[in-house]
Amino acid sequence: MTSPPRERPPYTADERTQLVGWLDMQRAIIQWKAAGLSEEDAHRSLLPTSPLMTVAGLVAHLTWVEHLWFEHVFLDRPQRGPRAAADAPESAEMRVAGVPLAELVAAYEQQCAISNEIIEAHALDDTGRAPHLKAKDASLRWMLFHLIEETARHAGHLDTIRELLDGQKGYY
């Protein structure tokens, strides 16, 4: 499993290029932090009070976040995945014991590609379409900022988890 290049967007790029560029960079960091781990380490919990906070769990969570915001909230497509059921347990998307990390990373890559197609096809001022959600009022721009924030926050978690697992450090 190789991760995409971790490149910052050009300093003078237009707004869309910068927003997608920063999001893509954070996505690449997620994939980089997941690369080269054993299945045991990918699913190992290091935080006693957060047993689902594993490399595998975070990759699965970010896949679901991409789907939720760009497909469900923005386009009003049916919600799918572990949280789609009304009786889904809290953090259901992070319950991935036994799911190979390579499968989770491939699903994340695929979901990011779908998200980028959606972003490319719409104006930054367009708002969500899911009539039953308050978040439908958010613009695509707002959603991009939120996904940058969410992905970067979890990249920071993965920095710490990876260092605790095998000593690997690095940001960029």
* Rounded-to-integer distance, Cα 60 and Cα 105, Å: 8
**171 exposed, middle or buried (CB, 10 Å; 0-12, 13-18, 19+)?**
exposed
Question: What pLDDT sits at residue 82?
Answer: 85
Over residues 41-69, the mean pLDDT reads 96
- pLDDT one-digit tens code per residue, 82-137: 888 888 898 999 999 999 999 999 999 999 999 999 999 999 999 999 999 999 99
Q: For residues 131 and 35, what is the distance between their CA atoms, to the nearest angstrom? A: 39
Confidence of residue 23 (pLDDT cuts 50, 70, 90): very high
Q: How far is CA 153 from CA 26, 33, 38, in A?
A: 9, 13, 23
At residue 153, does pLDDT exceed 80? yes
Write out the DSSP string of 102-155.
Answer: HHHHHHHHHHHHHHHHHHHTS-TT-B---TT-GGGGSBHHHHHHHHHHHHHHHH
Confidence (pLDDT) at 4: 81
- Look at residue 14 and give its three-state secondary structure: coil
Cβ burial of 60 (10 Å; 0-12, 13-18, 19+) is buried
Query: In this predicted structure, what is the pLDDT of residue 172?
Result: 54
Provide mean pLDDT across the span 134-153: 97
Residue 59 one-letter amino acid:
V
The CA-based diameter of the chain, rounded to the nearest angstrom, is 47
Q: What is the pLDDT of residue 1?
A: 58
